[in-house]
Amino acid sequence: MINPKRKQREISKQMKEIGIGTKAQQALQIQYEANKIERKIKSRQKNEFEKQRRFEIKQAKITQQNSYNPSLF
């Protein structure tokens, strides 16, 4: 005799491995996962671009502050 809780756990584990739903639902799930990966890549690229832009602005400010123009004095 198998413990009913253990049996339920084994059944749920098998369902997770196999996947639940129709072929259409599985196709939608695959499409969702692909979009999620694509969104993650775009987000990472956008963050990297913004980080580079902020760095360049900061460097420009530093060079402007460090430049000495004797005609101003």
pLDDT digits (tens, 9 = 90+) for 10-69: 988 887 776 667 888 888 989 999 999 999 999 999 999 999 999 999 999 988 887 776
- Whole-angstrom Cα distance, residue 63 to residue 69? 12
Q: Decide: 26 and 19 in contact? Cβ < 8 Å.
A: yes
Determine which helix (DSSP H) or strand (DSSP E) holds 70, and give its type and residue range.
none
DSSP 21: S
- Whole-angstrom Cα distance, residue 4 to residue 36? 37
Which two tokens mark 39? Answer: 């969104």
Widest Cα–Cα separation across the chain: 96
Q: Which pTM does this prediction carry?
A: 0.55
Q: Which residue type occupies 15?
A: M
